[in-house]
Structure 1
Amino acid sequence: MPLHVSQAPAPALHSVLAALGSPAARETGTPALRSVQGPLSAELPLPVHVLDIGAPTLGSAGTPRTRLVGWRFLIRGGDHTLAAADTVPTADGWSFSHFSEGPYIASTEKALYQAEAAQSGWQPRLLSVPELYMLTLWLHGDTDADPSQGAPDGADVLIPLAPAPPGIAAHRPQRVADLLPRLAVRLVPPPLLGSTA
């Protein structure tokens, strides 16, 4: 079943296209961008949400708290995905942030293929857990939802991207209700030495 990929805000896409059209993209971008000769395109925009650790990880109703921090586009040259381009919110809307490459690019593509093979319709998003150096493909069940809003539902699915933290299997889809409690335990700071925790 096809994924319901959201449309990114126009200023976010325009900022990425402007960055791709700039000579700096080829000169100072990632090695993969410098090596390609043909045109580059920005595809598969994914909203990037961060698990909010500033508040309790789980709200009073057991709902995880997240916040939108940007949009990520996969950058293709010919038949290959070469890099990602991230945008960030600004006072004026959206602005290009940076290009990146590395294992999360191929892992994101693999997770998207996994999701497409599922028998359910999903709205793909990225969910980051910076404290664990973890990124997941978040498959949101409400395909009509505003991609910049909302929190993971217990029935939503997370696919941890590689490299995943120790003890978390990369590319093993798990329901939010099953995975987030395991992550919450890891996010609780250990007691101080000598305390009576």
Structure 2
Amino acid sequence: MPLHVPEAPAPALRSVLTALGSPTAVREAPTPSLRSAPGPVTPELPLPVHVLEGITATGAPATRLAGWRFLIFSGEHALAAAETRLTPDGWAFAHFFEGPYIASTERALRQAESLPQAYQPRLLSIPGLYMLTLWLHGDCAADGSTGGPRPTDLLVPLAPAPPGIAAHRPHQVAELLPLLTRRVTPTAPPLMGSPA
């Protein structure tokens, strides 16, 4: 099924286009592949980036919108990404970057297109585990910048994934969140002098 990519705010897209048109911004970016792109580059596949702020054993996970990420394509493949963030003056370009999450995101999006159900793709960052997932939201008409993961939404860990979590394997939120909860919730050490 085709993915229903949410529409990014127009100012976010404009800020990325302005940065791509700035020789200084591109030259100073830590992205050799962007600087040496053989032809024109275009920002595509805007994905809202949500940060998981709290995982609890009960209740819905708390998330917040951190920005919009655009994959930067040269030809048929993404070679970098541009991130935007919300400032008091509106959406602004934050930075260009490259690395393993670019190809991993592209791969996960291709995998998601082959699923039998339509989804709205988003990114979900889990800072406590240094983990990024492709979040496939089941409500394709939803505002991509709001809402949290539903139990039946899918999370696809991107590579590199934390040890013990398989990259590119879709998990329902209800299946993966309990595992993540155990990983990020510190266990209290036993009290001194108490029986073990």
Q: Please, what TM-score do these two structures have when normalized by structure 1?
A: 0.93
- 1:78 deviates by 2.2
Q: Is the 8 A contact 2:34 2:80 kept in 1?
A: yes
Q: Are 1:128 and 2:125 counterparts?
A: yes
Mapping for residues 13-52 of structure 1, pairs under 5 Å: 13-29=13-29, 30-52=31-53
One of 64, 82, 86 as aligned partner of 1:89: 86
- 1:119 deviates by 0.6
Mapping for residues 1-197 of structure 1, pairs under 5 Å: 1-29=1-29, 30-53=31-54, 57-58=55-56, 62-192=59-189, 194=191
Q: Is the 8 A contact 2:136 2:153 kept in 1?
A: yes
- 1:135 deviates by 0.2
Q: Is the 8 A contact 1:43 1:76 kept in 2?
A: yes
Runs of 4+ in structure 1 off by over 3 angstroms are 192-197
Q: Give unmatched runs, 5+ long, in structure 1.
A: none
Q: Which one-letter code corresponds to 1:4 in the other structure? A: H
Question: Structure 1 residues 93 and 79 mapped into 2: Cα distance closer, same or farther (>3 Å)?
Answer: same
Q: 2: CA distance between counterparts of 1:100 and 1:68? A: 19
Q: Which one-letter code corresponds to 1:128 in the other structure? A: S
Q: Is the 8 A contact 1:59 1:65 kept in 2?
A: no
Q: Is the 8 A contact 2:125 2:132 kept in 1?
A: yes
Q: 1: CA distance between counterparts of 2:98 and 2:154? A: 25
Q: 1: CA distance between counterparts of 2:12 and 2:191? A: 50
RMSD of the alignment, in Å? 1.6
- 1:26 deviates by 3.3
Q: 2: CA distance between counterparts of 1:47 and 1:97? A: 14
Q: Which one-letter code corresponds to 1:182 in the other structure? A: L
SS in 1 for 2:188: coil
Q: 1: CA distance between counterparts of 2:115 and 2:139? A: 15
Q: Is the 8 A contact 2:12 2:91 kept in 1?
A: yes
